[in-house]
Amino acid sequence: MRGRRIQRVRYCDEVGGAVPVFLLVLPAFLFLAAFYLFPLIQIVALSFQGGGGLFENYGSLLSDPLRLTVLLNTLKLSAGVALLCLVLGYPVAYLMVNARPERRSALMLIVLASVWVSILVRTYAWMVLLARRGPVNALLQFLGLTDEPLTLLYTDFSVYVGMVHVLLPFMILPLYSVMQRIDLGLVRSARSLGCGGFLGFWFVFLPLSLPGVVAGVLLVFLVSLGFFITPALLGGAGDVTFVMLIEQELAQFLNWGVASAMSIVLLVATLVLVALYRFLMRSDARLAGADNRILGLLSVLMRSALRSRAVRRTLGVAGYGAEGSVAWLRRIVALVVRAVPWLVVGFLVLPLLVIVPLSLSSSPFLEFPPPGITLRWYVQVFSRMDWLGPIAVSVRLALVVGVGATLLGLLASVALVRGSFPGKGLLAGFIVSPMIVPVMVLAVAMQYFMARLGLAGTLSGLALSHVVLALPFVVVVLTGALQTVDTGLERAAQALGATPFVAFVRVTLPLIRPALLTSGLFAFLVSFDELVIALFLAGPATKTLPKRMWEAVREEIDPATAAVAVLVTGVCVLGLLLAERARSRLVRRSNLHNLNKVFE
């Protein structure tokens, strides 16, 4: 009797376990193959179609000096944004690593919150802040720094500020994840050997954090290449980026061939950068880039930069050898160094606050400070069909996406964690890859694909596209959670007579319930916030809230828009707090930190 039971357990583990577990990845795989890979292949094919041979579209892309100029400008913009993000993000990541645990998680929450608060809302906040009658100008004039309002909006300046604000978390997170792994004992021993303060940082900590620097710069560069919303809203007459050109090509000229070719160019550039990113992050695992030639070269250069005696003497002020007269200078430098990361954190959070007073302003026009307080814009939002309709559509859509993506993602995650089959790594990469494909490229592909299925303008078309976008987040969170679950518990349940399915449902599911909630929330938020695909796919009866907000933000600075922005931000923050609460219930590993894996 007993022997038979044990035999059965082994049977479950090998056959009943291994084979069906592998099959669980199929729904997600087939779904992505149909609604993600196939549409992308379609636009690859489209890009080679045309009257004048295979490469006509690419030819017209390369031979058009205007398009090339735009491409070049976009590259410049992305590089600039990446460097600015590095300068601002590094101190914050450094602060996080060195902070006490509770302060560290507070900072982490702020950084992650700014990933999840709608990009549209954040960009809108900058439109308000930088307006001629906005708070920044009001403050400058109040302080007597300027006599008349400066033109800040619709300039290069506003594009940079907005983009850095939106993309800063994408710099901080990879930096943090690398710095976290640096052995601070090395820094301490350097100090004990006389290389403390700035020099210790420069010679020991900085070289070890280099993989994070390179990864962060690459990631920000990559995301800003495909960035649409912020430059489109904050840019002036000449600030056209490559993705804006793709949108124009389609919306105005219906030029599918060229739009596809441009999308493919962007996609290939992205993939190359991702490959580079992964290469660098992997080499980091092998002891901080010691065997990596690029990084090795970089750190040698850095070290030799300080070898010259003059440089060392100048920097020595901040490092060692500070005596008497330079002590006060050292104190000031230390103060500034300490203040910088907090200023950056303020820069991340404060702009959002501006929309609150605006949404309560009694003036229908932009005025700072607001002349009076009223709740009528909120009342208006909930009494106007042109807002209520999109709100209903978005909530409905996001619920469906949240549930759908979590189901598909759960099955796939079980297969990816428990199963062992050839090509598993590749498959995992494929499932999370929608995260890195520029949304505009996906939008172009989806529009073409859904129109042919007759799903353009329908809720189903939107839901299918959003599940593609949400699935990676679900899988990252759930695989992380499943890895922490001891499979021994399930086996014990099976040994006691439960079938594998019942054992999973009764034992493992309750254990990962917080992660399920988190991934459902993330999927909900991905869909609730998504604009670019909705711009192309949503029809009049299925207009989503972000699309409605996009119209409102582009057209008029109406306090009702601010009221909606406050409400949307509220939903995002509430979702995050729920996720954080779920996380704190998980004893061993944190979901939020699992999310961090997204960036690794």
Partner 1 sequence: MRNGRIWIAAGLLFAAGVWLFAPSRQHEDTNYLVVVSWGGSFQEAQREVLFRPFTAATGIQIIEETGPTAARVQAMAQSGRAEWDVALMTPADVLRLGRAGYLAKVDQSHPELAPLLPDLDPRAILDHGVGDFFSSKVMAYGTDDYSAEHHPRTWAEFWDVERFPGLRVIDAGDWTMPPIEYALLADGVEPDDLYPLDFERAYASIGRLAPHVLKFSDSPVMAAQALVDGEASLAAVTLGRIAQLKAQGAPVGFEWNQGLMEVNYWVIMENTDHIEAATRFIAFAARPEIQAAMSRLQPLGPSNRRAFEFLAPERARQLPTYPENLERQIFVDAGYWAREDASGKSNAERNAELWREFVLGQ
Contact between 140 and partner 1 per CB under 8 A: no
- Residues 6+ away with beta carbon under 8 Å from 113: 572, 573, 576
Q: Which is nearer to partner 1, 149 or 296 (CB)?
A: 149
List the alpha helices (DSSP H) in 99-205.
101-116, 119-129, 135-142, 156-179, 184-192, 197-200
Residues numbered 78-117 forming contacts with partner 1, rule: CB under 8 A: none
Alpha carbon separation from 156 to 126, 241, 309, 497 (Å, rounded): 13, 12, 40, 67
In angstroms, rounded to a whole number, what is the distance separating the alpha carbons of residues 290 and 405?
A: 40
Q: Rule CB under 8 A: choose which of 269, 446, 557, 598 binds partner 1.
A: 557
What is the tally of helices (H) and strands (E) in the chain?
A: 33, 0
Per the listing, tokens 């090998």 go with 14
Local structure of 361: helix, strand or coil: strand
Q: Does 556 bind partner 1 (CB under 8 A)?
A: yes
Which of 1, 145, 193, 254 touches partner 1 by CB under 8 A? Answer: 254
**Given 110, 294, 315, 399, the residue binding partner 1 (CB under 8 A):** 399
Task: Between 288 and 459, name the residue whose CB sits nearer to partner 1.
Answer: 459
Interface residues for partner 1 in 561-600 (CB under 8 A)? none
Residue 157 in contact with partner 1, rule: CB under 8 A: no
- The interface with partner 1 within residues 507-526 (CB under 8 A) comprises 510
> Is residue 69 within the footprint of partner 1 (CB under 8 A)?
yes
Give the residue among 422, 509, 510, 437 at the shortest CA–CA distance from 472.
437
Min dist CB 510 to partner 1, Å, is 8
Three-state secondary structure along 227-287?
A: CCHHHHHHCCCCCCCHHHHHHHHHHCCCCHHHHHHHHHHHHHHHHHHHHHHHHHHHHHHCC
Nearer to partner 1, 238 or 423 (CB): 238
Q: What is the closest distance, in whole angstroms, from the C-beta atom of residue 200 to partner 1 in the complex? A: 49
Q: How far is the CB of 222 from partner 1 (least distance, A)?
A: 24
- Residue from 1, 237, 373, 587 touching partner 1 (CB under 8 A): that is 237
CB of 488 to partner 1, least distance (A): 20
Q: What share of the chain is helix, strand, coil (3-state, %, to 5)?
A: 80, 0, 20
Cα separation, 43 vs 86, whole angstroms: 35
- When asked if residue 154 is in the footprint of partner 1 (CB under 8 A), the reply is yes
Stretch of 245-253, 314-322, 419-427, 431-439 contacting partner 1, by CB under 8 A: 245-253
Min dist CB 118 to partner 1, Å, is 20
- Kindly tell me which of 400 and 576 has the beta carbon lying closer to partner 1: 400
Among 142, 365, 382, 501, binds partner 1 (CB under 8 A): 365
Q: Give yes or no for residue 467 binding partner 1 (CB under 8 A).
A: no
- Is the four-CA dihedral 6, 12, 13, 14 of positive or negative sign? positive
Q: At what angle do helices 56-63 and 256-285 cross, to 10 degrees?
A: 80
Contact 535, 248 (CB under 8 A): no
Give the chain's largest Cα–Cα span.
Answer: 93
Give the span between the Cα atoms of 471 and 374, in whole angstroms. Answer: 41
67 touching partner 1, by CB under 8 A: yes
We find the least distance from the C-beta atom of residue 553 to partner 1, in angstroms, to be: 10
Is 540 an interacting residue with respect to partner 1 (CB under 8 A)?
yes
CB of 241 vs partner 1, minimal distance in Å: 12
Closer of 133 and 338 to partner 1 (Cβ): 133
407 binds partner 1 (CB under 8 A): yes
Comparing CB distances to partner 1, the nearer of 98 and 458 is: 458
Of the residues 338, 554, 581, 585, which one makes contact with partner 1 according to CB under 8 A: 554
Helices (H), 454-558: 459-484, 487-495, 500-503, 509-511, 513-529, 532-537, 545-555
Burial classification of residue 589, based on how many CB atoms lie within 10 Å of its CB (0-12 exposed, 13-18 middle, 19 or more buried)? middle
The nearer residue to partner 1, 12 or 232, going by C-beta atoms, is: 232
539 binds partner 1 (CB under 8 A): yes
Please choose, from the candidates 539, 547, 544, 536, the residue with its C-alpha nearest in 3D space to the C-alpha of residue 447.
536
Give the residue with the Cβ less far from partner 1, 305 or 392.
392
- The whole-angstrom separation of Cα 508 and Cα 260 is 44
Is residue 259 within the footprint of partner 1 (CB under 8 A)? no
Q: How many residues would you count in the chain? A: 600
Binding residue (CB under 8 A) for partner 1 from 195, 208, 459, 567: 459
Q: Which two tokens stand for residue 549?
A: 């907000």
Stretch that binds partner 1, among 308-316, 347-355, 458-466, 479-487 (CB under 8 A): 458-466
379 touching partner 1, by CB under 8 A: no
Three-state secondary structure call for residue 498: coil
Question: Which position has the token pair 């929608």?
Answer: 434
Q: Which stretch binds partner 1 (CB under 8 A): 129-137, 209-217, 346-354, 591-599?
A: 129-137
If one asks whether residue 66 binds partner 1 (CB under 8 A), the answer comes out as yes
Phi-psi region of 233 (alpha: psi -120 to 50; beta: other; left: phi over 0): alpha
The separation between CA 390 and the C-alpha centre of its own chain, rounded to angstroms, equals 24
Give me 491's structure tokens.
Answer: 């086996």
Taking the complex as a whole, the smallest distance from the CB of residue 539 to partner 1 amounts, in Å, to: 5
Query: CB of residue 280 vs partner 1: minimum separation in angstroms?
Result: 35
Q: How many residues bind to partner 1 according to rule CB under 8 A?
A: 50
**Interface residues with partner 1 (CB under 8 A)?**
66-67, 69-70, 131-133, 149, 151, 153-154, 236-238, 240, 250-254, 364-366, 385-386, 389, 396, 399-400, 403, 407, 451, 456-460, 463, 505-506, 510, 539-542, 551, 554-557
